[in-house]
């Protein structure tokens, strides 16, 4: 396993094509705009060597028996699923931002399960290929970016119906030694400081879409692969010093890119789906279940930092014991812990798949993420309320450092007399970073927008079963309609409920 420093050093071996603000970036590790994101990802490596966190940050590979970073592990038990979200909360607490490695982690687990199922039906060798690739990832402790979200073009049209076929990543050529792909993926968290890219389809596909049913892995510096680093709220503040950034060391969210595949070649040993459109939905749903599981962990870890920041500002403002402040902080804690309960619940209710790997309860994973599209907005609103108007009208760090204005800022930005003004300025900027900036849209759209979770909750909610339960309690005797609706007798039906409860 690499430590944080070794991870940063490993990035120097790669030469990805990356553009930002109209210029080509020659060195990822030397680019000031990228540095905070690299530091956040490095924490996933560094904590794996800390004896205090070894249990949640590392695992034993079921393939090799070697100790590995948990971010390269395939979940082998419910305990693994629980340790995963404990790891997410820990890293959120340590970085106060996105640590970027989750998407690739979830892609590895989703592909392990889905390639097994594809091979079983189609007599292919995708799972065997994937296992060999996974061994390479584990051995070298590689950071993978999971590439799922296509740019999609006209959302009312299926991939094959688009006027421009490249708006979804697709197969353009099959060769004896591999395939050639073209298209683009959006919102690629941590792409510029990853080693590998794992591509998956973004939606359910039909026979006409089979060229879009592709999954594969390529190095981040593969020929023809181009990344355009995207803008974030207040991103260039990191060039002005460390106060105005709010979170100077670890940055804002996850450092996303627009990732373009310009006829990228993929050798067959790195192809994990090629035309099996009937398994695109399974791969998407399995990945989404894993990724939505995370959000009650990572976002709650970040919320822990925000709650601490808001409480500290109340102290700096001289009102830590005001009843309305305590009430607001209590509300923030309640909402954060509710999301945490959801992540723990979907993990504890996980189950074994035919591949041998474990998956969280899909219904509860979607409930987890739907809550995270709502509660962070409310706990951020409360943090803004506690902090006061200076959270968005604090003088700049340059004015604080300027000898001509330093004394004025020191004097008039003072809170409680015996506390340093600089501490108050720093805390305002941290709360601004966490409660006003780019963290909130990521809570909304990361791992899918609310409509996606509602669709899955409706599909998994089994309303017909609930209707029959209500009829029994109301004294409406089941008749032939019961078997027509459920496909089972009343005895068979309730026996299945019991078995499902045990399984899920």
Beta strands in 355-467 (DSSP E): 358-359
- C-alpha to C-alpha distance for 36 and 198, rounded to whole angstroms: 23
- In sequence order, the 6+-apart residues with CB closer than 8 A to the CB of 7 are 41, 42, 45, 141, 143
- C-alpha to C-alpha distance for 290 and 353, rounded to whole angstroms: 13
Pick from 20, 27, 441: which is nearest to 235 by CA? 20
342 is catalytic: no
Which pair of structure tokens corresponds to residue 203? 């939606």
291 is catalytic: yes
Which pair of structure tokens corresponds to residue 142? 């590689």
Catalytic residue among 44, 115, 149, 189: 189
Rounded to whole angstroms, the maximal C-alpha distance in the chain is: 87
Catalytic residue among 7, 39, 46, 102: 102
Catalytic residue among 256, 276, 285, 432: 256
Chain center to CA of 4: 20
102 is catalytic: yes
CA distances from 192 to 27, 78, 188, 257 (A): 10, 32, 9, 7
339 is catalytic: no
256 is catalytic: yes
Strand partners, 186: none
170 is catalytic: no
442 is catalytic: yes
Catalytic residue among 144, 442, 468, 486: 442
Cα dihedral sign, 132-136-141-143: negative
Strand partners, 259: 185, 227
Name the phi and psi angles at 355, rounded to 5.
-70, -15
Grouping H, G, I as helix, E, B as strand and the rest as coil, residue 351 is strand
245 is catalytic: no
- C-alpha to C-alpha distance for 183 and 166, rounded to whole angstroms: 4
Catalytic residue among 291, 312, 368, 400: 291
Q: State the catalytic residues.
A: 98, 102, 189, 256, 291, 295, 298, 442
């Amino acid at each position: 396993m690499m430590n944080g420093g070794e991870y940063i050093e490993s990035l120097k071996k790669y030469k990805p094509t990356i553009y930002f603000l109209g210029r080509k970036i020659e060195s990822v590790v030397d680019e000031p705009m990228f540095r905070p994101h690299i530091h956040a990802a490095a924490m996933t490596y560094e904590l794996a060597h800390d004896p205090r966190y070894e249990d949640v940050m590392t695992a034993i590979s079921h393939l090799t028996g070697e100790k590995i970073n948990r971010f390269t592990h395939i979940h082998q038990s419910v305990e693994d699923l629980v340790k995963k979200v404990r790891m997410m909360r820990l890293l959120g607490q340590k970085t106060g931002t996105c640590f970027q490695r989750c998407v690739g982690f979830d892609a590895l687990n989703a592909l392990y399960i889905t390639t097994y199922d594809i091979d079983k039906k189609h007599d292919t060798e995708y799972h065997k290929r994937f296992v060999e690739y996974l061994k390479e990832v584990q051995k070298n402790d590689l950071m993978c970016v999971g590439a799922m979200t296509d740019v999609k073009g006209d959302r009312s049209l299926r991939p094959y119906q688009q006027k421009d076929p490249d708006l979804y990543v697709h197969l353009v050529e099959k060769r004896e030694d591999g395939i050639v792909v073209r298209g683009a993926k959006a919102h690629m968290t941590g792409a510029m400081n990853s080693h590998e890219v794992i591509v998956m389809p973004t939606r359910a596909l039909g026979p006409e879409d089979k060229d879009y049913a592709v999954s594969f892995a390529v190095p981040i510096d593969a020929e023809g692969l181009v990344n355009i680093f995207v803008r974030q709220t207040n991103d260039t503040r990191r060039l002005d010093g460390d106060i105005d950034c709010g979170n100077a060391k670890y940055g804002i969210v996850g450092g996303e890119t627009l990732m373009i595949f310009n006829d990228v070649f993929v050798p067959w040993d790195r192809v994990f789906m090629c035309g099996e459109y009937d398994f695109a939905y399974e791969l998407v749903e399995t990945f989404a279940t894993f990724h939505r599981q995370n959000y009650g962990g990572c976002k709650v870890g970040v919320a822990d930092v925000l709650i601490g920041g808001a409480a500290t500002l109340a102290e700096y403002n001289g009102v830590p014991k005001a009843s309305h402040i305590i009430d607001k902080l209590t509300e923030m804690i309640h909402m954060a812990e509710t999301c945490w309960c959801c992540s723990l619940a979907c993990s504890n209710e996980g189950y074994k798949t035919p591949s041998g790997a474990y998956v969280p309860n899909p219904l509860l994973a979607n409930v987890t993420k739907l809550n995270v599209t709502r509660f962070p907005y409310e706990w951020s609103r409360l943090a803004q309320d506690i902090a006061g108007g200076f959270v968005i009208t604090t003088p700049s760090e340059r004015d604080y450092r300027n000898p001509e204005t330093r004394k004025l800022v020191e004097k008039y930005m003072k809170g409680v007399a015996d506390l340093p003004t600089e501490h108050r300025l720093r805390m305002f900027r941290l709360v601004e970073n966490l409660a006003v900036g780019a963290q909130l849209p990521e809570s909304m759209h990361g791992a899918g927008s609310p409509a996606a979770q509602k669709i899955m909750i409706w599909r998994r909610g089994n309303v017909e079963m609930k209707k029959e339960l209500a009829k029994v309690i109301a004294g409406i005797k089941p008749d032939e309609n019961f078997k027509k609706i459920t496909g089972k007798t009343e005895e068979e039906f309730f026996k299945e409920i019991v078995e499902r409860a045990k399984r899920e």
